[in-house]
Amino acid sequence: MEDLALKKRSLVLLIKEILDQLNETAELKAKGGSAAVSMLLLREMCSVLRELEPELMELYLEVLPTLASATPPASARRFTEEKAMLSEPVKRRFVERMRDQLVKSAA
């Protein structure tokens, strides 16, 4: 039971990070930037979703609309290519940690 609660909290955190990453990518592209690093990280974050157990995928689909509507618009934050590159290592570690908590423990 505790393991499921941890997975649920991890999934919510992953969804929030995906939404933030999507906003970052969209804003950088809108400013004419390449957003290459941001798009790569977004793909990595979303790749975890394809590996979810059916129960967690169901939870993802259930909470996504609520979390998406609560996410501030990209214009409320300032994203830069430099910030994206500097935060890349941290975000990669985050993705691996979420994959470990959500997927690998189920295998």
Confidence at residue 47, expressed as pLDDT on a 0 to 100 scale: 96
Confidence at residue 102, expressed as pLDDT on a 0 to 100 scale: 92
Cβ contact 50:101 at 8 Å: no
Confidence at residue 73, expressed as pLDDT on a 0 to 100 scale: 73
User: If you ran DSSP here, which 8-state letter would residue 106 be given?
Assistant: G
**pLDDT digits over 23-76, tens only?**
999 999 988 989 999 999 999 999 999 999 999 999 999 999 999 999 877 665
Of 2, 25, 3, 21, the closest CA to residue 104 belongs to: 3
Token pair, residue 70, equals: 């609560």
DSSP 37-104: HHHHHHHHHHHHHTT--HHHHHHHHHHHHHHHHHSPPGGGS---HHHHHHHHHHHHHHHHHHHHHHTG
